[in-house]
């Protein structure tokens, strides 16, 4: 399926890094995409609660350096770095675990490149789900940012609805994203068969075909 959403996904760079966190092995998923806006506007979309509610999720808290934030029904954490129009870093606390997210903005051509790096200690679920477990969720977030930037005054798009992943467009988008993360896992050193098996497990989870661990 060809669509503007798939085109945006294909224009996103996907990378997996092997990292070390406090002396322990970890993984980082990295997404990078150029948006057709300037850095101040993209920064505003990523940091103003009213706009985050339309592009990603409602957020509460103290959105400044050292402040605590909480996304409704998702992660919360502490903002650990804030360089306006350039960089945000924060802890990402969910389900009793802690990981780390860094957002970097850089002018590129007539737009702005957004790079997101989400790193965590290696956990037992990684071999089963691979990078797609986290990466597909961020692909969906990047899609939401793109839709919002194209129409900033609109309410949350229909693609944010719970049933969208099971639609033909949603199924195609998630399949494309899972395959991209499978390729990124291979580039990071994972065996091909293992990487694509993990990618398929992640795809089934996001489309509702299988529960975690199922």
DSSP 69-124: EEETTS-EEEEEEEETTTEEEEEEEETTEEEEEEEEEEEETTEEEEEEEEEEE--T
What is the predicted pLDDT for the residue at 1? Answer: 64
Task: For residue range 43-100, list pLDDT tens digits in order.
Answer: 999 999 999 999 999 999 999 999 999 999 999 999 999 999 999 999 999 999 999 9
Task: For residue range 16-32, list pLDDT tens digits in order.
Answer: 999 999 999 999 999 99
Structural domains in the chain, sorted by start = 4-206 (3.30.530.20)
What is the predicted pLDDT for the residue at 211? Answer: 58
- Rounded Cα gap, residues 61 and 207, in angstroms: 31
What is the predicted pLDDT for the residue at 183? Answer: 98
Task: For residue range 134-150, list pLDDT tens digits in order.
Answer: 999 999 999 999 999 99
Q: Which residues pair with 25 in a beta bridge?
A: 20
Task: For residue range 149-207, list pLDDT tens digits in order.
Answer: 999 998 887 777 778 888 999 999 999 999 999 999 999 999 999 999 999 999 999 99
- Rounded Cα gap, residues 9 and 156, in angstroms: 19
DSSP 8-state code for residue 153:
T
């Amino acid at each position: 399926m060809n669509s503007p959403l798939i085109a945006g996904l294909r224009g996103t760079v996907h990378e997996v890094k092997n990292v070390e966190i406090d002396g322990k092995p970890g993984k980082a998923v990295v997404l990078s995409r150029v948006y057709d806006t300037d850095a101040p506007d993209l920064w505003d979309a990523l940091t103003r609660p009213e706009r985050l509610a339309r592009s990603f999720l409602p957020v509460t808290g103290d959105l400044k350096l050292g402040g605590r934030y909480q996304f409704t029904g998702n992660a919360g954490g502490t903002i650990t770095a804030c360089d306006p129009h350039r960089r945000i870093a924060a802890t990402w606390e969910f389900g009793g675990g802690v990981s780390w997210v860094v957002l970097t903005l850089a002018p590129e051509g007539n737009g702005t490149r957004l790079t997101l790096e989400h790193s965590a200690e290696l956990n037992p679920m990684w071999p089963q789900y691979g990078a797609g477990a986290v990466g597909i969720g961020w692909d969906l977030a990047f899609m939401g940012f793109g839709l919002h930037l194209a129409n900033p005054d609109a309410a949350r798009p229909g693609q944010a609805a719970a049933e969208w992943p099971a639609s033909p467009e949603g199924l195609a988008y998630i399949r494309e994203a899972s395959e991209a993360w499978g390729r990124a896992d291979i580039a990071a050193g994972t065996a091909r068969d293992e990487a694509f098996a993990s990618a398929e497990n992640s795809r089934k989870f996001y489309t509702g075909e299988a529960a975690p661990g199922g």
